[in-house]
Structure 1
């Protein structure tokens, strides 16, 4: 049997979960109690979040961290440390607030000064235009501004150049000024005049490090990382395993900007190192070309070239100065470096809240990180709703098809990641999020290849704390704390099965960052959407795998190989322009017969470099026909019958071939899957930690047909491996005599009072507790009695409940379940005669907390709670002879 399965069945669970543990300066007793609470929930590791702490890197911080580390050592737990006193990473614990301007964030900007359309004579004081333009703030940015301290002011804006651009003839002229005055007669109205400048007075976080300045980033290392090393050097690499960066940003423009590609009104990030790189790439022309970052020409290729060069330089410096520098420091000091950037709404390819290029930003990290917070991934959310919290546009297609793919792909193709990916998960969904939704989210990211998690969050602050709920324990007030612990154990078991090897995928999809910088482009997630819905597994790969083949272990031939991944085809999303490096790689692949498929058209030109596509045998297909084309060409690994666009399948190659199945639809999936493997196989249920027999037929060489039945909200692993049949559990059976139990005695209690129940009354199921008591959150217990014989085969099914369920027979627990239908075998606990049957249901805290007066919480929650309570379905007994 698979060694991992053997260990799991024996109760040996690897740890893949490190929840946030927020710090506010709590008492020693509270800190020690919470370390126990976190470990009791199934987590053997924890990420200490400093954001709310009043004395980060001061005496109070070291006092609290001493206590936590003492507990961690005693419990053999591991500690990660979030690496700053403010969110996002980059504040450097206030060091930038006092730093010289050259170490602070810099931005370039362009102000158009040509006046009215019929004005030919331009006569202006240039100094009037040396201020960054004001930006209309989004609702979220405006609220955050009110809640944030006054930003640092520099008043040191500097002129870079005055440039005239002819958007028709493509001419660009650098204009001279006389004593700060521009006096120029425009030859025609086609000319636009721009004053470009350099400023420290732009962006929402002016007292944060400059990600493109090596010495600026060193402020973070000196004021956070080094200080922790000085205090806890002997713990590094032992109890302290690493640091976590949370959403580091370039920081230009407005906070959490959306729809901010090059060409839109915003300041753009700058540094002296960037100026040096641009000079190497363009000579002194960069001063003249700078307005092309905001305006376009008739010659779109010229615009595409400079924008690509600019962003290529920006993201190269982010990789060198930030992620690699921090990662190298960690590795030199015996610890690891994890975290994530902002990926929302495509920010992973942009400046502002992003770092410009996901794969380059992640380069120095030891795990490929992403996060899912605040209603991003949600059941049925592939396309709806279109608008999320704070009236922000919500791109469900990206969240459901593109988000996890970023981390899973980087983990697989970058040898330095060793297959490790990470998702910060569950955070800021509001109190309406319970184990139903958390199980869905966990399965979504697991089946998409994510194998480490940072749940958000354990909060020891006095309950109720309105800061970004849900909180998994809430000082004993969360009814679902024990249920959450069962979810964590399930996640650990599942993640261990998809670690240590690599995913098996058929198709590589080209990352669209360079295409987006240059012009019109098609985001990679649109490709992955149509492939995923047809069970064609794919990964997204950056152009860097072709420009740095040694780093990525790239081989171009009849198979495209990147690290351990071997692809059968490369799909290129529509791009108006592509760099020469990828064109050259495509030509080489096509020359040896490797399938390269362009979607919705060929590029119009080359953004940087000199080369041309070899148009012989080029294959162009529409997005709608892409999946069918790949299937017809047998570039798909497996097939299902009947078709279903919500069945998700992960194929993982480890010690054995492993398949994970998740049903994200609304109805059970019953059908057959044909997989490219032969031999014995069995099913593994990672939640119940049991193995089951399968109905499987070896159809022909390297092909097996397996019958599957996947209920929404549940998962199943199929393992190709030999197994002793005595270890197999029996499949749950509902073929016996059916009896619906209608009449029950219901009682209830709040989580903090458990198990002291009160208010017993007679009820008939389904229960209407949520209507009867609209503000109640806690436990609802349902009691009845059944007649039985000892060891009589009786199975129990609860068709629906809100939310977590625990069943007791004769006061003995049969365990906690999270997702309907809840299925229990009562046989082992039955005695002759009368038997007590008790069902306890734990609600979310949404109803109790629905009146919290918190602006962010009100935006995230429905004004009227939607969570149901208690048993909302039927309770059915099946007696089998």
Structure 2
């Protein structure tokens, strides 16, 4: 395969563009950091004001001119984060300062309860236009409601409805009432019974406090202010660099921002709703309603559980998610395209926010429509080994949804990258940020492998901070002015990531099972999160992509009941449980099912359409051509040409990713478990012979066939690549390093645990400057009080005698980087399992001097706030150190 040949020869491109945080540092510091980033194998930077107080002022432009010049010299690309500080939408303060009418606007409802009958009732409503004054704080009362408190609030309508419970109304009784807003008085003959009076308003008050004064992403004019404020000045100042050194802009976590947090699911969470001026007219026209009738329906955005309530919630969410796409994402993306650059970034996906309001942007697929790569991020311990079943407590008070972050997020992002032609098969993930200094290269590699095994092929490491060490802002920092002891080994991860990114680019994803994105179902009633079936398929090595409703309605059918989306074929579609689905989607499902697509609904078929007045007959047709199964039954119900692995036992931590190039196929396997090794016999969905490639060592490996499949051995957290080849391969070196997970045909094992060892303190922080200890066996260094706070390098030395030339060394457990020298020559470096080293060609007859340099992360020294959420490993080598040989020859203690 051509791409395998190229990576082995070092001919691959860059897939890493780390954040470089700018605060106004000196040029020598900037130059040093750029050289360090380039030197560790990262061929781009994403510049972020964190904040840079003179952003968009002359010092900023001078620094950018210097940086682009240096990057041109170093062969690096430049991306620019598009605001003075994250999240995107602040527009460098310009919205609040000059365009307050383009701030986020909200639809609110406030109510009062009354009892009738009462003729000629007069109800004071002016106070409902603003937040309740603090009348209980003696001495701080407002004597009267100020005009400034409610002058920016527009009353859209006054409604009344008969109460049917504590917070329930009789929806058939809703009345639209005339109201003289200038007087602030409602005049109404109250009918008999208990009634609620509601004031619907459009206001700039409320919403998420952290993004107060931010732009309204539903208004095109607001996005244009961001362009004029940030994008255009960069273009005018650095036009000659655009499309060459400057690759584009990065939006970081823009959002609807009507509420704080990820739980803002329409109809389930009390909150103001995103709005824009005149939206009542646009929405009424789209729904073919009078504005008075629309007002009655808008009340049901906040109250009720009827079909009508779910209908308007679906219609509202569909509308605003399109407005976000058309008036924010596409406006920026098209501007960039016209100038020969690209637009990338990500929204907030956390805890299912991607299909919601608040932190979300309404609909993941629509929110990313204008971007040239799909994009996601993992920060703050959201993705952790084995934290994949429940909510787990970490930095946030509510915790993280482990099932979403493990089985949903990466596959969601990669599916958009696969299926949207604009993305060109590219998916970016912002990684490593705010895990604390206890996150070292071992965990970073595991996060990278998880992403790659789900289809992510570009990475934005978070981050390089140029502030003086220690910068308290969201560590770890990858260089930290040379204070991060693991920086010396960062190039191992960078080159490994670039190789994998290159291998999984330029082709097509192989998954032929589709999984419906659940957003419309969530807006319309009861629903199942898409990660539920995603988990089942992942744990059963079934390849799949997540499809939006729009992708299905726009898909075309081909022979054999298959559908095609952006050139990728699907033979089955999984629909998570949905009480209701939109009529246009149901029509598409009927069309696709009648053409032979295998459609599986989880648990139940839809009971209704999202729209009340839709064609109910469509449901009957759908029921006749679809099947229903439980999550547990799903693997066996996926028949025919399903892209999956056949294993000799259940292996829930084995991840599988299938990728096609013109001259062959790639099968990527990853043992996602960092606690146990994995041994399994696998049959692959191909008749072609498979070859092995070890991306960490960058060489081919032997892969003998056993029957119809292959016996696969993966160490904890190990990833391997298998591939077919339609072209004749060149002769290249084939490696066969002894793995920690399976000692290959070894007939002799010799433990060095009880040897005489010396341990020397190398460069580091928090320990003695120079110290050498001697031990009769491998020591427990946690017992040494002088090393309680040590982060840095420890040098282990011992000797052994052997007449063997072919042998390997395995370190069972070490924290967390190991570099082995034998007889003064470097044998290799490992940043994660397997810590296995081929000593062939380095060992000599007689006495051999073994040196193992061990480096840990800064968590032990810094003990920072964010590191409390990661279990810190013990210091140094904590498992056995074993020599393996193929021959039964004697290895002796030195």
Q: TM-score, normalised by structure 1?
A: 0.91
Matched, 1:71 2:33: no
What aligned pairs does 1:747-762 form with structure 2 within 5 A after superposition? 747-751=760-764, 758-762=770-774
Shift of 1:515: 1.1
Give the equivalent residue in structure 2 for 1:279: 284
Q: Does 1:738 align with 2:749?
A: yes
Question: What are the residue-to-residue correspondences of 1:673-688 with 2, within 5 Å?
Answer: 673-688=682-697
Partners of 1:31 and 1:781 lie apart in 2 by 33
Tell me, yes or no, if the aligned pair for 2:478 and 2:484 is still in contact at 8 Å.
yes
Residue of structure 1 aligned with 2:198, choices 181, 186, 194: 194
Measure, in 2, the Cα distance between the counterparts of 1:212 and 1:279.
17
CA distance in 1, matches of 2:564, 2:336: 30
Long gaps (5+) in structure 2: 135-147, 163-168, 739-743, 888-894
Matched, 1:671 2:680: yes
1:188–1:740 distance in 2 versus 1, CA, 3 Å: farther
The answer as to whether partners of 1:844 and 1:867 remain within 8 angstroms in 2 is no
Distance 1:467 1:112, change over 3 A: same
Residue 479 of structure 1 and its aligned partner are, at CA, apart by 1.1
2:695, 2:721 within 8 Å by CA — same for their partners in 1? Answer: yes
The residue number in structure 1 matching 2:599 is 596
User: What is the CA–CA distance in structure 2 between the aligned matches of 1:115 and 1:452, rounded to whole Å?
Assistant: 59
Structure 2 partner of 1:233: 239
Shift of 1:832: 4.7
Q: 1:801 aligns with which of 789, 793, 814?
A: 814
Q: What's the secondary structure of 1:54's corresponding residue?
A: coil
| Alignment partner, residue 817 of structure 1 | 830
Q: CA deviation at 1:388?
A: 2.5
Question: Which among 761, 766, 783 is matched to residue 797 of structure 2?
Answer: 783
Give CA-to-partner distance per residue, 1:206-233, whole Å, 9 cap, x none.
Answer: 2211101111111110111111111110
Cross-structure match for 1:659: 667
1: CA distance, partners of 2:71 / 2:334: 26
Q: Structure 1 303/785 Cα, relative in aligned 2: closer, same or farther at 3 Å?
A: same
Distance change >3 Å, CA 793–CA 170, structure 1 → 2: same
Query: Compared with structure 1, are the counterparts of its residues 530 and 680 closer, same or farther at alpha carbon in structure 2 (3 Å cutoff)?
Result: closer
Q: 2:316 aligns to what?
A: 310
Q: Give the alignment partner of residue 626 of structure 2, picking from 618, 633, 655.
A: 618
Q: Given the superposition, is the C-alpha separation of residues 864 and 339 from structure 1 closer, same or farther in structure 2, using an over 3 Å criterion?
A: closer
The correspondence for 1:502, drawn from 502, 505, 508, is: 508
Answer yes or no: is the 8 Å Cα contact 1:515–1:521 preserved in 2. yes
Counterpart Cα distance in 2 of 1:643 and 1:709: 15
Could you tell me how far 1:450 is from its partner in structure 2?
A: 0.5
User: Is the contact between residue 124 and residue 186 of structure 2 (CA under 8 Å) also seen in structure 1?
Assistant: yes
Residue 891 of structure 2: aligned partner:
none
Determine the C-alpha separation between the residues in 2 that align with 1:651 and 1:377: 22
1:714 aligns with 2:721: no
Structure 1 Cα separation of the partners of residues 300 and 819 of structure 2: 63
> 2:4 corresponds to which residue?
5
What RMSD in Å do the two structures reach over aligned CA positions?
Answer: 2.5
Tell me: CA distance 1:521–1:134, structure 2 relative to 1, closer, same or farther (3 Å): farther
CA distance in 2, matches of 1:582, 1:646: 34
Q: Distance in 2 between matches of 1:454 and 1:119?
A: 65
- The 1-side partners of 2:117 and 2:517 are apart by 44
Q: Deviations over 1:507-552 (max 9, x none)?
A: 11111111111111111111111111111111111111144x2xx6
1:130 Cα offset (Å):
0.8
Please tell me whether residue 21 in structure 1 is matched to residue 20 in structure 2: yes
Q: Distance in 2 between matches of 1:343 and 1:794?
A: 48
Report the alpha carbon displacement of residue 689 of structure 1 after superposing the two structures with TM.
0.3
Tell me by how many angstroms 1:373 deviates: 0.6
- Number of matched pairs: 843
Kept in 2: contact 1:570–1:595 (CA 8 A): yes
Who is 2:173 aligned against?
A: 171
SS at match of 1:112: strand
Alignment check: 8 A CA contact 1:131 1:197 kept: no
Determine the structure 2 residue equivalent to 1:139. none
Whole-angstrom distance in 2 between the partners of 1:818 and 1:664 = 16
Q: Cα gap change, 1:606/1:846 in structure 2, threshold over 3 Å: closer, same or farther?
A: same
- 2:296 is equivalent to residue 296 of structure 1: no
Tell me what 1:410 maps to. 416
Give the Å deviation of 1:782. 0.5
Q: Which residue of 2 aligns with 1:769?
A: 781
Q: TM-score, normalising length from structure 2?
A: 0.90
- Given that 1:510 and 1:543 are in contact with CA atoms closer than 8 Å, whether structure 2 keeps it comes out as yes
Task: State the shift of 1:707 in Å.
Answer: 2.0
**Further displaced range: 659-668 or 154-163:** 154-163
Q: Say whether 1:347 aligns with 2:353.
A: yes
- Report the Cα offset of residue 3 of structure 1: 1.2
Q: 1:169 to 1:289 in 2, by over 3 A?
A: closer
Q: Taking structure 1 as reference, are residues 245 and 314 closer, same or farther at Cα in structure 2, changes over 3 Å only?
A: same
Alignment of 1:133-282 (within 5 A): 156-166=152-162, 167-168=169-170, 170-178=172-180, 179-184=183-188, 186-187=190-191, 189=193, 191-203=195-207, 204=209, 205-254=211-260, 256-272=261-277, 274-282=279-287
CA distance in 2 between counterparts of 1:692 and 1:271 reads 59
2-structure distance, mates of 1:462, 1:173: 63
1:118-171 CA distance string (max 9 Å, x none): 999975311111125899xxxxxxxxxxxxxxxx98851221111123433533
Separation (CA, whole Å) in 2 of partners of 1:371 and 1:572: 26
Structure 1 portions without partners, runs of 5+: 136-151, 700-704, 853-857
Assess if the C-alpha contact under 8 Å between 1:109 and 1:132 holds in 2. no
Superposition pairs of residues 493-532 of structure 1, within 5 angstroms: 493-532=499-538
Kindly state the Cα deviation for residue 638 of structure 1 after the two structures are TM-superposed.
2.8
The match for 2:375 is 369
Structure 1 partner of 2:609:
606
Offset of residue 728 of structure 1? 2.0
For residue 697 of structure 1, report the CA deviation from its aligned partner.
5.7
Residues 442, 491 of structure 1: 8 Å contact kept: yes
Task: Give the deviation of 1:749 after TM superposition.
Answer: 3.0
Give how far 1:567 is off: 1.0
2:857 to 839, 844, 851: 844
Give how far 1:354 is off.
Answer: 1.0
User: Whole-Å Cα distance in 2 between the matches of residues 185 and 522 of structure 1?
Assistant: 45
